[in-house]
Copies of this chain bind each other. A is one copy, B any other.
Amino acid sequence: MRSLPPIRNRLFCPGPTPVPAESSLAGLETTLYHRSSEFKAEVLQARKGLQPFFQSPEDPLILTSSGSGAMESAMVNLTGEGDPIIAINGGKFGERWTKLGQAYGCQVKEMRLTWGETVDLDALKTLIQETPGLKAVFVQANETSTGVAHPIQDIADLVHKESDALLVVDAVSALVAHHIPMTDWGIDCLLSGSQKGFGTPAGLAFIALSDRAWGRLSSRRRFYFDLDRERKGQESGTTAWTPATSLIRSLNVSLIKLNDIGVEACDQYHRTAAEACREASATWGLSLFSKSHHSQALTAVALPAEVDGVALLKHAKERYGAMFAGGQDQAKGKIVRIAHLGLFDMFDLLAGLTALEYTLKDFHVIEELGQGVAAAMTRLHQP
């Protein structure tokens, strides 16, 4: 039957993610002047609150833009015209590194992966060796379009062993769900966004550079995304341009929650949530789109070939209020991406899996209700 009290909309797409009511409410305070000492304190607090998730040498910088703006800032600050770079393209977001590099006139060597697969380290080693003067390697910590989490620590070790290049990591959908200690792993640039693991509305991006990267800023033309300028100002909480003040207020409330949980516990919780989703998928008899290195932020489930994935997701949304993301480009209509990212609790996740199980039943993908959810419940009940 239909739920008589109307079903709430729930987001299970890999960003925007659910925003805690307290965080949203904090954004209602809109009488802060962005150059006041009170607001500068908010900026400093947010930078400090982000730091444990970046484990960066300096507190991350805050930009008013989407995550793609932070990607652009990495490209325009760290590369110059004609620089040889490697872009690891394992999906829609890897492809963005390629396009960004091309747009800014780099010599882009693309390591194109089959969607759902991760980096072959030997092939990457060869590519690095074949690229004299390699300036930087660009990769996603988590390829949101396929549900693959690339092995960043291994990639970092390889890049630094085989070259003098910088390693730039897009962790827009990875941070909080994955523990990525920037300095320990030798990452030279780590970036993220507000609307994923950080449980804040979209509109802010975050970026941190290693000392080595700060020492190698390119002479490329830039203005809005000039990180050196941001760094000088944000030392005292002064952003270069008018920041999204209400979003920074919301961010600070979410960061308090996230830091109370702790970086390691966030990583563990997301790992368990991912396992619960994989167990549900296996119970439904569905395979994963990611072949290995499954993300802790989202699970990409392959649908049987005869099922119209677009219609299935439309049904899940219209009938059960659950908004999953489908496949992009070549995966369109073929997969369901279940996000388990940010400030959601395990009952939210189970509501999503229940909605998906209902939908799979309605589409005759499964016969019996309750089995996949039971598998997930069981996994979530274990320590």
Contacts and interface: CB of A to CB of B under 8 A. Distances in A.
Contact of A246 (B27, B99, B224): B27
Contacts of A105: 221
Interface string A209-242: 0000000000001111110000000000000111
A222 B68 CA distance: 12
A325 B66 CA distance: 29
B68 A65 contact: no
Contacts of A195: 242, 245
B31 A11 contact: yes
A203 interface: yes
Residue among A68, A100, A242 with the highest chain B CB neighbour number at 10 A = A242
B203 A103 contact: no
Where chain A touches its partner, the secondary structure class is loop
A276 to B, nearest CB: 22
Contact of A242 (B16, B34, B104): B16
Interface string A253-281: 00000000000000000000000000000
B27 A201 contact: yes
A117 B242 CA distance: 25
B19 A243 contact: no
Contact of A243 (B8, B35, B202): B202
Nearest to A63: B65
A344 B21 CA distance: 27
A15 interface: yes
A21 B27 CA distance: 11
Contacts of A244: 201-203, 244, 247
Given A28-B24, A64-B203, A246-B202, A224 B33 contact: no
Interface in A177-204: 193, 195, 201-203
A287 to B, nearest CB: 25
Contact of A18 (B18, B30, B241): B30
A33 B67 contact: no
Contacts of A202: 34, 64, 242-246
B69 A201 contact: no
Nearest to A193: B242
A282 interface: no
B224 A65 contact: yes
Given A28-B28, A104-B221, 12 more contacts: A9-B31, A9-B32, A66-B243, A67-B241, A68-B223, A68-B240, A68-B241, A201-B244, A202-B242, A203-B244, A246-B247, A247-B247
